[in-house]
């Protein structure tokens, strides 16, 4: 049986759907009863919280593989994800597929780095998925500014990003959990092209039929506005750190590993905007 953490999020939901389509037996975690109702009735849902070790046992009983992702609000890895990895090892889990971050091996300040290091130290066979920025960040984290203000407000200057669609990441996670040959591997996952946000705004403008502009604020201005809009400060700071890395040119790499694993080209940014365009419609 495979345990899916973060099963109701953008990536976890895609992993879950792909595994169900393949006919695999899965268990999905939810943070509370309301969250659990978002999990399909055919799937066993368990209440789970990384900060509450008492929830680990039920989640891991009978599990041999885990899809692991860090909830965005968690930065204290030592007292959350690390103990979970330790319990997973004691329960005989024989593979962890961890949703990490492109370039994480050169960025020890981000939480994903500490998680990778602890999994390596644990000795559990691993697969590290290191995606670039998700296209779906733009219909979740940045949805409001695009829908209401018709602008993209991100502190990256003219740097390029090799965006990847969450649907591709979910398909890859499911495949690496169920196919041989993916243990003790790290995959750098990107879309088929690197775009700057001026080009991103042009695609939005073309598909949505209204002008979408890109504004490149200073890093402090971005963190301040993100926090004022309700994002926890710790998460806003991590976002700022990641976008600062993008500004330095660390997110423009394009790889062929999506095609290598899935046997097809990754979803393009234009296709993503076309598929999700209803998300950015202005309220009447």
Residue-wise pLDDT for 95-147, tens only, equals 999 999 999 998 898 899 999 999 999 999 999 999 999 999 999 999 999 99
Cα–Cα distance, 154 to 242 (Å, whole number) = 11
User: Cα torsion for 14, 28, 92, 179, to the nearest 10°?
Assistant: -20
Cα–Cα distance, 19 to 178 (Å, whole number) = 8
pTM (two decimals): 0.92
Over residues 26-41, the mean pLDDT reads: 94
Query: Residue 241 above 90 pLDDT?
Result: no
Over residues 11-28, the mean pLDDT reads: 95
Mean of the per-residue pLDDT values of the chain? 95
Over residues 214-221, the mean pLDDT reads: 94
Cα–Cα distance, 60 to 57 (Å, whole number) = 5
Query: Residue 283 above 90 pLDDT?
Result: no
Structure tokens at 62: 């009978």
Cα–Cα distance, 162 to 259 (Å, whole number) = 14
CB 172 within 8 A of CB 262: yes
Residue 284: its pLDDT value, please?
A: 60
The DSSP result for 58-108, as a single string, is HHHTT--EEEE---TT---GGGTHHHHHHHHHHTT--EEEEE--TTGGG-T
Residue 107: its pLDDT value, please?
A: 84
Please enumerate in sequence order all residues whose Cβ is within 8 A of that of 64, keeping only pairs 6 or more positions apart, or say none: 1, 2, 92, 93, 94, 95
Q: Which CATH architecture has domain 2-131+165-189?
A: 3-Layer(aba) Sandwich (3.40)
Quickly state the pLDDT bin for 3 (edges 50, 70, 90): very high
Render pLDDT for 161-175 as a digit per residue (tens, 0 to 9).
999 999 999 999 999
Cα–Cα distance, 21 to 190 (Å, whole number) = 24
Residues 70-107 as b or e (16 or more Cβ within 10 Å = b): bbbebbebeebbbbbbbebeebebebbbbbbbbbbeee
Query: Residue 73 above 90 pLDDT?
Result: no
Please enumerate in sequence order all residues whose Cβ is within 8 A of that of 170, keeping only pairs 6 or more positions apart, or say none: 11, 12, 13, 14, 15, 16, 17, 18
The DSSP result for 141-202, as a single string, is TTHHHHHHHSEEE-S-TT-EE--B-HHHHHHHHHHHHHSTT-TTEEEEE--S--EEHHHHHH
Residue 264: its pLDDT value, please?
A: 97
Quickly state the pLDDT bin for 18 (edges 50, 70, 90): very high
Cα–Cα distance, 144 to 283 (Å, whole number) = 11
Task: Tell me how far apart the terminal alpha carbons of the chain are, to the nearest angstrom.
Answer: 46
Q: What percent of the chain has pLDDT over 90?
A: 86
User: Nearest CA to 214 among 194, 229, 199?
Assistant: 199
Query: Residue 234 above 90 pLDDT?
Result: no
CB 229 within 8 A of CB 144: yes
What one-character DSSP code corresponds to residue 277?
A: G
Cα–Cα distance, 36 to 39 (Å, whole number) = 5
């Amino acid at each position: 049986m495979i345990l899916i953490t973060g099963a109701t999020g953008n990536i976890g939901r895609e992993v879950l759907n792909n595994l169900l389509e393949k006919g695999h037996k899965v268990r999905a975690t939810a943070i509370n009863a309301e969250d659990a109702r978002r999990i399909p009735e055919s799937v066993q849902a368990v209440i789970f919280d990384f900060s509450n070790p008492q929830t680990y046992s039920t989640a891991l009983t009978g599990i041999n593989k885990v899809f692991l992702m860090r909830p965005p609000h968690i930065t204290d890895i030592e007292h959350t994800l690390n103990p979970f990895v330790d319990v997973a090892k004691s329960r005989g889990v024989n593979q962890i597929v961890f949703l990490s971050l492109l370039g994480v091996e050169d960025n020890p300040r981000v939480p994903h780095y500490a998680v990778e290091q602890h999994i390596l130290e644990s000795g559990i066979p691993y697969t590290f998925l290191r995606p670039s920025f998700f296209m779906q960040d733009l219909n979740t984290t940045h949805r409001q500014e695009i829908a209401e203000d018709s602008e993209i407000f991100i502190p990256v200057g003219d740097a390029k990003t090799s965006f990847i669609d969450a649907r591709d990441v979910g398909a890859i996670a499911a495949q690496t959990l169920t196919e041989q040959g993916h243990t003790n591997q790290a995959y750098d996952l990107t879309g088929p092209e690197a775009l700057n946000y001026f080009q991103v705004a042009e695609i939005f403008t073309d598909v949505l039929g209204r002008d979408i502009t890109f504004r490149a604020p200073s890093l402090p201005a971005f963190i301040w506005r993100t926090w004022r809009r309700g994002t926890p400060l710790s998460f806003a700071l991590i976002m700022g750190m990641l976008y600062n890395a993008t500004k330095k040119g660390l997110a423009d790499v394009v790889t062929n590993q999506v095609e290598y694993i899935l046997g097809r080209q990754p979803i393009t940014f234009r296709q993503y905007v076309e598929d999700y365009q209803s998300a950015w419609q202005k309220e009447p």
